A and B are shown apart, each in its own frame.
Chain A
Amino acid sequence: MIFSLLVQESAVGRQSSHAAYRFARELVARGHTLYRVFFFGDGVHNSTALNCAAGGEADLPALWQQLAAEHGVDLVSCVSSALRRGIIDEREAARHALGAASLRQGFELSGLGQLVEASIRSDRILDFGG
């Protein structure tokens, strides 16, 4: 079965993104396809390249990146949520004359249309943090 996930809360200080990640791992372990994870609102903090996880704590942005590399999962952060929160790719950094980019490799910025498309293409879509 083809799944997509909607992740809406920060990777830090809230549990729901961790639940989403564990659900994602379990899906692929059971032979399902995870088509896309769409990060929305505070969920875009999952896509930062500029975090340092404290010792003994899960580094969720790195874990998502690893999952995507292993299983070809599309990781998309909502561009309007991301720009407001300082999650910036190279293109937006250049366009808005910002000093640096902060989007982690393996993620891309795009619009809500990617959530709609994920809903259309997947058999199931689940929200976390709603």
Chain B
Amino acid sequence: MSAPQAAPRRSVLVVCRTAPYGRSRARDAVDVAMAFAAFDQPVTLLFLGDGVLALASGQRPAPEFSRSLDKLLGTLADYGIEEVHADAAALAARGLDAQALALPVRLAGPVELRELFAAHERVLTV
């Protein structure tokens, strides 16, 4: 369970493209991102497609089904995950703008998306 001391830091892009609650994928992606951050790896979270729905504020899932994802996402900064990006076109297509989101998110257009994938040493879609 231990990463070696003074392990090399490899930047990781964790991608989520699955809507929350119908599957546990969005929650799993956050767990993976938090694990990388816990071992001092630089992590960026990116939401694509239906995945952007995880970012909407005011989520009220049935309590027996799942913890509210927007509250969990609100704690990302406490875990050292500063960078959360979302596909701007995917948000717009679903009627969401920056004001409708539960946390500060950087909106990425096609150019920024390409740069995100190129800039990270690891890309994991969860």
Contacts and interface: CB of A to CB of B under 8 A. Distances in A.
Q: Answer yes or no: are A and B bound together in one complex.
A: yes
Interface of A: 6, 8, 40-41, 110-117, 119-120, 125, 127, 130
A115 B31 CA distance: 12
Given A114-B1, A119-B12, A125 B28 contact: no
Interface of B: 1-4, 7-8, 10, 12, 15, 24-25, 28, 31-32, 35-36, 38-39, 41, 122, 124-126
B28 A111 contact: no
Contacts of B32: 40, 112, 115
A13 B31 CA distance: 25
A119 B126 CA distance: 14
B1 A111 contact: yes
Contacts of A125: 122, 124
A119 B36 CA distance: 9
Contacts of B7: 117, 120
A117 B124 CA distance: 14
A127 B126 CA distance: 8
A112 to B, nearest CB: 4
A116 B124 contact: no
Given A40-B28, A114-B1, A130 B125 contact: yes
A43 B101 CA distance: 31
B28 A116 contact: no
Contact of B124 (A110, A111, A127): A127
A119 B125 contact: no
A6 B29 CA distance: 13
Choose among B4, B10, B32, B41 the residue with the greatest number of A CB atoms under 10 Å from its CB.
B32
Nearest to B18: A130
A41 B26 CA distance: 11
A30 B47 CA distance: 35
20 contacts: A40-B28, A110-B1, A111-B35, A112-B31, A112-B32, A113-B2, A113-B38, A113-B39, A115-B35, A116-B38, A116-B39, A117-B4, A117-B39, A119-B10, A119-B41, A120-B3, A120-B4, A127-B124, A127-B125, A127-B126
A4 B92 CA distance: 36
